[in-house]
Structures are given as C-alpha cells and as structure tokens.
C-alpha cells in the first residue's frame, strides 16, 4: 500500500527532472520528485553552473594579465584558487536553492532518497528516515542523469585521478595536470587550470579537439590553447594510467610510439554514462540501447506510463536538451500533443575562452549529406565591437544550401559565441534563409554584426571584409 499518491513521480531533479516536474504542476498534476543528492542535479551543483563560475574567474585572471593593454596599472595581485572554488560553490548553492523555491511555488513535493521502481506505478524511496512508497497514478519520469566514465582499468580516486565531480570541489590545484578527453568538459577545465598557472596537457584520441565541432573551430581552438601555453596532443591513445607517489604516470600511444607523461594529477574527461543501475528497469521491460534508455517522440519508454528525459536517454548530453525533453514528457502526460524535440537544432556550447558554439551541420557533414553548400566566414578582427572589447580571436561561419539558402549549420569561435548562436537557433526554427537574415537590421556596433556579415559572405556580399 502506498504511503502517498501523486499523479506523477519524477526520479531525479536535474534540468530534465525539475523542468518536467514544474511543467506537470503548471498543467494541474500533483507531482512528487525524488532526489538522492541535491536539488538541481549535476547541472546546477557539479556541472554547468559551477564550471561557468570558475570560467568567469579564469576570464578575470586573464584580464588582469592584460591590464596594461587597457592602460591600467595593477599593483601586486594574487589569484586565489581556493576562493574561486568557494565562489563557484556559493553560485551553485544559490541555484540549487532556486530549484527548491520553484518546487515550493509550484506545490511540488521533494523527497530525499534513492528512488527505484517496484512496478510501473510504484516508486520506492530509500531515505535516511526509512523507506517510503509512492504511487504514480499517471506516470513516472526517469530523470536520473549520468555519471563520469573512466578508461578501462583506470580508477577515479578523486585525489590523483579526478573527475569533474572532484575538480569542482577541490580547493587546491596541482602544479601540472593531464586532461584526458578534449570534449567540452575537458577543454573548459583545461582553460580554468591554465589561467591559474597549472601546466596543462590535453590528450585526445580523435584527430582534433572538440571533435563534434566543425573542423575549422577545432583547429582554431587548438591553436589558441597552444598559444596560451596548453600542450594539445590529438590522435593519442592513453594506454595506462599509474598513480604513484606525488605524481601520475600516463602511458600513451602516439601513432605507434609509446611515451610516458607525468603530472601531479589526471583529470578524466572521457564522457559520461547514463545512471540506470538499481532503478529496476529491466524487470519492467524498459528497453535500453548501449546503456541508454530508449524513448519515443513523447519521451515515453517501451513501458506505457514510464517516461525518461535528459542524459539517461543519451543523444546530446546537455542541460537544455534535458529541459526540452522534460517539457515534452510533461505535456504528453497531461494529455497534450507536444511538438517533439528537434535534435537537429540543439545548440552546442563550450564556454572556454574564446567560446565555441554551433548549431546544425558542420561543413563536412553537410557535404557528406550530399548538399551543395555555400559558406560564409567573418573574422572577429573585422568586427568593431570585438575590437573595442579587445576580444578579436575567432570567427563566425555560416554553412548554407547553395540552391535554397537554407541555413544548414553555424559555427562560432569568439566572444559571447554561446549567446550569438541563438539568432541562428531561432532562424532555423523559423526556417529562415540567408536572405531573411541579411534583411534583418543588426545594431551597430554589436558582435551580432558578425552574424550578418558571415551571412552576407555566404551570398558573396560581405561589406566589411
Ligand atoms: P542530472 O543533472 O544528471 O541530474 C540527475 C539527478 O538525479 C542527480 O542529482 C542524481 O543524483 C539524481 N539521481 C540519480 N539516480 C537517482 C535515484 N535512483 N534516486 C534519486 N535520485 C537519483 N550541459 C550544458 O548544457 N551546458 C553546460 O555548460 C554543461 N556543463 C557541464 C559541465 C560539467 C563538468 C558536466 C559534468 C556536465 C555539464 N553539462 C552541461 C551537462 C549537463 O550537466 C547534463 O546534460 C545535465 O545535468 C543533464 O540533466 P539531467 O536532468 O538528465 O540529469
């Protein structure tokens, strides 16, 4: 017999879970959420938000180094890494409290404990105070997220071999660091540690950093990181990681040549695995594909009444994708007909300096898709606002269908790239063509003028280059 009954029970309160819960409540459903860590999940507590706070610190440290350029004389100064971490923790705490506030506002019950499914409508919650049984009259939403992966045979001890979980909590920094994996998480931490004087080496098995980005973006970021003193090595396989006294040995295979690197610490950033263990999914017939929960367009799993959103479903493991899926699940449960998530139009963002953002197809992917493309590029060196800001590194690149002008993909390396990308996100949702972008007046001087100019360039009409 259930202790409490709700229309919907959501397991996990990261961006997928908390957004689904709020949207369900807005649609008149009685909602309980279950969380075994902190409200807000990985994103608010250990992922997106604390890392952005650290990157802001790194940006300020970089600006202090450039003070002369702005005619500012700075006396003796010191960048205290412990305080950067403490600030980042305060920012995360504030955001997690914000989720609790939103739950109270929307009359959502929050239960602390580990949730698992006893049947398709019964959720057991094991908390500090004992076991509670919840009935989900309409649906259960799985939003249990993901956890860091490691390489086979390499244990993450959060001391010498750390994951992002350890990195966002540790107030000391190593003298030297090997980052394994040059995806967004690896490159963001490499940038933070570099700014704080750590000798950083980034290792990537694939031929380029940020391997999911357009080749030009990867090349530019590798160049700029190298210029700032980060050692970037791509196409190298890590064979063995051996923690020793005071240092870690990292054996690599670089195109057939074995080499051993040593560093005070290793940061494992090789991706994340969905958290599905112990949820009781197999017994209920929820189907999985390579460890990820399989869902249909309304986020329902193979079992009617069980939905899954966010990292646990794979595809792009991003907070905004999780939130969009949360809304779709909630609306479907409430009996609406939600528009499915458009996975081809999810912005991808890396918040290192300069930032990297993209949407849609890379130039190579568009060509591989058989499209005849026109490409327009605009460098930030030719953008007045970027010059005034002193942030001229990078470019904006538009890839369009040559015949129709359809915007197939946009790739940005540069200041506020992660904000600029949304012009094209909206444009693509509205199926805007190059012509429509160029007939939109962009204010001067703005970074957004680079969007206009790259679009003009794709039509052979760029003015300022
Ligand atoms: P999560 O945020 O992972 O939350 C799931 C929650 O469920 C967790 O709190 C977990 O403890 C809880 N849980 C799991 N199992 C149970 C259970 N059985 N019972 C109760 N509770 C349970 N994405 C971006 O879009 N932008 C970024 O800038 C960005 N930066 C990142 C930086 C780092 C270092 C990391 C690690 C990730 C980053 N991400 C970023 C990815 C982003 O954090 C995830 O995509 C997002 O958090 C996924 O949301 P979610 O709701 O699926 O799950």
Q: Which of 10, 12, 343 for mutating ligand 1's site (highest number of atoms within 8 Å of CB)?
A: 12
Long-range contacts of 432-441 (CB under 8 A, 24+ apart): 432/407, 433/400, 433/404, 433/405, 433/406, 433/407, 434/374, 434/376, 434/398, 434/400, 434/405, 434/407, 434/458, 434/459, 435/405, 435/459, 437/407
**168 close to 50: Cβ distance less than 8 angstroms:** yes
State whether the beta carbon of 55 lies less than 6 angstroms from ligand 1. Answer: no
- Cα torsion 247, 250, 251, 254 to 10°: value is -130
The answer, yes or no, to whether any atom of ligand 1 lies below 6 A from the CB of 41, is: yes
Q: Is 331 exposed, middle or buried (0-12, 13-18, 19+ CB in 10 A)?
A: buried
Residue 3 has a pLDDT of 84
Q: What spacing in Å lies between the alpha carbon of 317 and ligand 1's midpoint?
A: 9
Say yes or no: do domains 150-270 and 354-458 share a fold: no
Architecture of domain 354-458 in this structure: 2-Layer Sandwich (3.30)
Atom 11 in ligand 1: residue holding the nearest Cα: 37
Q: Is the CB of 318 under 6 A from ligand 1?
A: yes
Residue 220 CA, chain-centre distance (Å), reads 20
Closest CA to 211 of 231, 239, 238, 184: 184
The pLDDT tens digits along the chain (465 residues) read: 568 999 999 999 999 999 999 999 999 999 999 999 999 999 999 999 999 999 999 999 999 999 999 999 999 999 999 999 999 999 999 999 999 999 999 999 999 999 999 999 999 999 999 999 999 999 999 999 999 999 999 999 999 999 999 999 999 999 999 999 999 999 999 999 999 999 999 999 999 999 999 999 999 999 999 999 999 999 999 999 999 999 999 999 999 999 999 999 999 999 999 999 999 999 999 999 999 999 999 999 999 999 999 999 999 999 999 999 999 999 999 999 999 999 999 999 999 999 999 999 999 999 999 999 999 999 999 999 999 999 999 999 999 999 999 999 999 999 999 999 999 999 999 999 999 999 999 999 999 999 999 999 999 999 999
Q: Is the peptide bond before 16 cis (omega within 30 degrees of 0)?
A: no
Task: Return d(Cα 128, Cα 331) in angstroms, integer.
Answer: 33
Tokens of 82: 């412990």
* Beta carbon of 325 within 6 Å of any ligand 1 atom: no
Which of 182, 178, 199 has the alpha carbon at shortest distance from 252? 178
Q: In sequence order, what are the residues at sequence separation of 6 or more whose Cβ sits closer than 8 angstroms to the Cβ of residue 278? A: 114, 116
Q: How far is the CA of 274 from the centre of ligand 1 (A)?
A: 10
Show me where the domains of the chain are located: 4-147+273-343, 150-270, 354-458
Instruction: Please identify, by atom number, the ligand 1 atom nearest to the C-alpha of residue 125.
Output: 19
* 319 CA closest ligand 1 atom index: 25
Ligand 1 centroid from CA 144, angstroms: 8
Question: 33: buried, middle or exposed (CB in 10 Å: 19+, 13-18, 0-12)?
Answer: buried
d(CA 173, CA 157): 16
Residue 42 CA, ligand 1 centroid: distance in Å: 3
Asked if omega into 7 is within 30° of 0 (cis), the reply is no
CATH 3.50.50.60 fits 4-147+273-343, yes or no: yes
86 Cα–ligand 1 center, Å = 21
Which residue has its alpha carbon closest to ligand 1 atom 9? 41
Q: Which fold has domain 150-270?
A: FAD/NAD(P)-binding domain (3.50.50)
Q: Is the CB of 314 under 6 A from ligand 1?
A: no
Task: Check pocket membership of 142 for ligand 1, CB cut-off 6 A.
Answer: no
Catalytic residues: 444
Which of 47, 275, 330 to mutate for ligand 1's pocket (most ligand atoms within 8 Å of CB)? 47
């Amino acid at each position: 017999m259930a202790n409490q009954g709700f229309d919907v029970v959501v397991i996990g309160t990261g961006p997928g879970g908390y957004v689904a819960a709020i949207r369900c409540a807005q649609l008149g459903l009685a909602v309980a959420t279950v969380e075994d860590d902190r409200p807000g999940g990985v994103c608010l507590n250990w992922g997106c938000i604390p890392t952005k706070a650290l990157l802001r610190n790194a940006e300020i440290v970089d600006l202090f180094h450039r003070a002369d350029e702005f005619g500012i004389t700075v006396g003796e100064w010191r960048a205290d890494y412990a305080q950067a971490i403490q600030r980042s923790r305060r920012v995360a705490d504030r955001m997690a409290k914000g989720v609790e506030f939103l739950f109270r506002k929307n009359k959502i019950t929050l239960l602390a404990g580990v949730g698992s499914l006893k049947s398709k409508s019964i959720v057991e919650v094991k908390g500090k105070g004992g076991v509670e049984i919840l009935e989900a009259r309409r649906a259960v939403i799985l939003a249990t997220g993901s956890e860091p992966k490691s390489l086979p045979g390499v244990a993450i001890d959060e001391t010498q071999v750390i994951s992002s979980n350890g990195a966002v909590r540790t107030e000391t920094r190593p003298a030297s660091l090997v980052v394994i994996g040059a995806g967004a998480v690896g490159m963001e931490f490499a940038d933070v540690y570099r700014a704080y004087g750590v000798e950083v080496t980034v290792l990537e098995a694939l031929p380029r950093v940020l391997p999911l980005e357009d080749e030009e973006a990867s090349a530019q970021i590798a160049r700029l990181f190298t210029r700032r003193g980060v050692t970037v090595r791509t196409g190298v396989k890590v064979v063995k990681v051996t923690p020793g006294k005071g240092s870690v040995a990292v054996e690599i295979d670089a195109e057939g040549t074995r080499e051993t690197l040593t560093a005070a610490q290793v940061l494992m950033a090789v991706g994340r695995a969905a958290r599905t263990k112990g949820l009781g999914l197999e017994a209920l017939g929820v189907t999985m594909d390579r460890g990820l929960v399989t869902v249909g367009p309304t986020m329902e799993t193979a079992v009617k009444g069980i939905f899954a959103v966010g990292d646990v479903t794979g595809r792009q493991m991003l907070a905004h994708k999780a939130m969009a899926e949360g809304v779709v699940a909630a609306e479907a449960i409430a009996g609406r007909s939600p528009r499915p998530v458009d996975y081809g139009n999810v912005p991808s963002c890396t918040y290192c300096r300069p930032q990297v953002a993209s949407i849609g197809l890379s130039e190579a992917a568009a060509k591989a898709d058989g499209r005849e493309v026109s490409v327009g590029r605009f460098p930030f060196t030719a953008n007045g606002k970027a010059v005034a800001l002193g942030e001229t590194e990078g470019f904006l690149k538009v890839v369009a269908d040559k015949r129709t002008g359809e915007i197939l993909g946009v790739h940005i390396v540069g200041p506020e790239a992660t904000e600029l990308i949304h012009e094209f996100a909206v444009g693509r949702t509205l199926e805007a063509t190059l012509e429509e972008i160029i007939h939109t007046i962009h204010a001067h001087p703005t970074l957004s003028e680079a969007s206009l100019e790259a679009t003009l360039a794709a039509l052979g009409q760029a003015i300022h280059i």
